[in-house]
Amino acid sequence: MTTQQHKIPITLGVTGHQDLREAEQERLCQSVRQIFQFLRQHNPHTPLHLFSALAEGADRLVAKVALEQQIELIVPLAIPLDLYLQDFQTPESKAEFMTLFNQAKENQQVFELSLLEGITKESLQTDVEARRQQEALAGAYIARHSHILIALWDGMPVNKTGETAQVVDFKLTGDMKDLPKRYKPQHGPLDVPDTGPVCHVLTSR
């Protein structure tokens, strides 16, 4: 084990839109790069880790910049791999996912989240709401387990389970209201919910 592995990391998470504009890709990459470089500059002896579910769009853009900056990639899967791959409509998208996935897997940084109560692998194949709940679980997991959340987001509030706006709100307030109670941490009436900072990179839709 290296000295770097003994150090406590700063963990970052990513949430964002899947339909990023091609014309904005370089600007977004540069903005994310600057976030990583700022953290490195001010924490030169602290490793950085990134949680990304590797969905199309923001998840992959930030993951690619992280790997370019030699930041360790961690991939939590809320949907079994064979079903998750069905979300990607083109061979190019599947190949891009597997390239990033395998880089994380080489470092033993890939794991599956438990299915929520009442959801089975079979139901994920046909039940759109079950799939949406599992995707929301990934967003909530990443928000809860990251010190800082990077959000590639247009800033528009959308009250849909698992959407970027809801994940951002969960990070800022500690409550993703539509997520099943089984996942939410237990809080007493006087407990302060877990919250954290969000680096908002403004995107167009």
Instruction: List, for residues 24-64, the tens digit of each pLDDT value.
Output: 999 999 999 999 999 999 999 999 999 999 999 999 999 99
Beta strands in the chain (DSSP E): 10-16, 48-51, 72-77, 110-112, 148-153, 198-202
Please name the amino acid found at residue 35. Answer: I
List the structure tokens of 25.
């890709």
Let me know: does 133 contact 122? Beta carbons within 8 Å. Answer: no
Quick check: helix, strand or coil at residue 182?
A: coil
Please name the amino acid found at residue 188. Answer: G
Grade residue 120 by pLDDT with cuts at 50, 70 and 90. very high
Rounded Cα distance, 98 and 84, in Å: 11
DSSP 86: G
Let me know: does 140 contact 182? Beta carbons within 8 Å. Answer: no
Q: In this model, does residue 183 exceed pLDDT 60?
A: no
**For position 51, what pLDDT does the model report?**
99
List the structure tokens of 117.
């109560």
Per-residue b or e along 160-177, where b marks 16 or more CB atoms closer than 10 Å to that residue's CB: ebbbbbbbbbbbeebbbe
| Total count of domains within the chain | 1
**For position 177, what pLDDT does the model report?**
64
CATH of the domain at 151: 3.40.50.450
Let me know: does 60 contact 97? Beta carbons within 8 Å. Answer: yes
Calculate ∠ Cα 132-136-142, nearest 5°: 150
Q: Which domain holds residue 25?
A: 3-202
Torsion angle, CA of 78/82/83/85, rounded to 10 degrees? Answer: 90
Q: In this model, does residue 186 exceed pLDDT 60?
A: no
pTM over 0.85: yes
**For position 185, what pLDDT does the model report?**
58
Per-residue pLDDT tens for 160-179?
A: 777 899 899 889 988 766 66
